[in-house]
Amino acid sequence: MSHADFLLFGALMLLNWYLESLKWKFLVRGIEDISQTQAIKATLAGMSFGLLTPNRMGNFIGKIIYLQPGNRLEGTLFALYGNFSQMLTTFLFGSFCFLFTFENYYSQTNVFMAVLPFAFSLGLAFLFLFPQKLNLNFAERVLSQELFGAFNRLIHFKGKEVVLGYSILRHLVFTIQYLIVLFYSPVFEFWSSFMAIQMIFFLTTIIPGLVFGKMMVRGPVAIFVLGILGYSTSFAINAILFIWLINIALPSLVGSFLFMIKKRG
């Protein structure tokens, strides 16, 4: 990679952190007024905790640590909602590319298999944007008054499209990072590589992973998907490892350091 590409990659990494912190600050604005610095620290701590839990499910723990104790229950729900928005974005991009790929390479008799993931993703999008359409009678009966109150405030949260917008921007940042790395392969072609990246994200999301598992899952998935396009196994492994170190390992290390400082303070 050239020096300019390294600088661009670093700028995209910082932009990724910043967008996630903006999303978190926006999500909790009705719960607690946090500074942008606190939002960034919470984002990095969330990445650190997420690295140590299956499917990064624990990233909400790092985020709510930077909230006041009385706000952490509601903060947990909003953090999970933010995670849902990122997963939804991955599903929408991935299932659309899956639909396009299936249409080109398989017969019409299998079209149902292609349409199903995209239809499911659209259903999730409707659920994300219009959760107030749900019948909450059952939830009201089984949840505690405090938890149901927090859940109800989440249901009527204004700005869902903004949260989804932040998630889409982050997804595009991830995609550009992959494209920069793949550009250095002699078999690089923009559109097919873009589609392959979406498929890697999509398959990695739906395949469970244990601690550090997403790296363990994404590696074989990337080798398989990129291999179809002619990318070598060694190139695919190096690309995935490089991006993982920049996007996950480095911010997790910074988040751990900031959390240790907070704990000692």
The CB density around residue 93, as the number of other CB atoms within 10 Å, is 22
Write out the DSSP string of 39-53.
Answer: HHHHHHHHHHHHHTS
The tally of CA atoms less than 13 A away on the side-chain side of residue 41 is 16
Length, in residues, of the chain: 265
Residue 51 and residue 215: Cα distance in Å, rounded?
Answer: 10
Per the structure block, which two tokens stand in for 124?
Answer: 């999730």
Q: Residue 36 CA to chain centroid, in angstroms?
A: 20
Spatial distance between the Cα atoms of 127 and 121, rounded to a whole number of angstroms: 10
Residue-level pLDDT, tens digit, the chain, 265 residues: 677 878 888 899 999 999 999 999 999 999 999 999 999 999 999 888 887 776 667 788 889 999 999 999 999 999 999 999 999 999 999 999 888 776 555 555 566 777 888 899 999 999 899 887 777 777 667 777 777 788 888 888 889 999 999 999 999 999 999 999 999 999 999 999 999 999 999 988 888 765 555 667 778 888 999 998 999 999 999 999 888 888 888 888 988 888 888 777 6
Calpha distance 47→60 (Å, rounded)? 9
241 contacts 231 by C-beta, under 8 angstroms: no
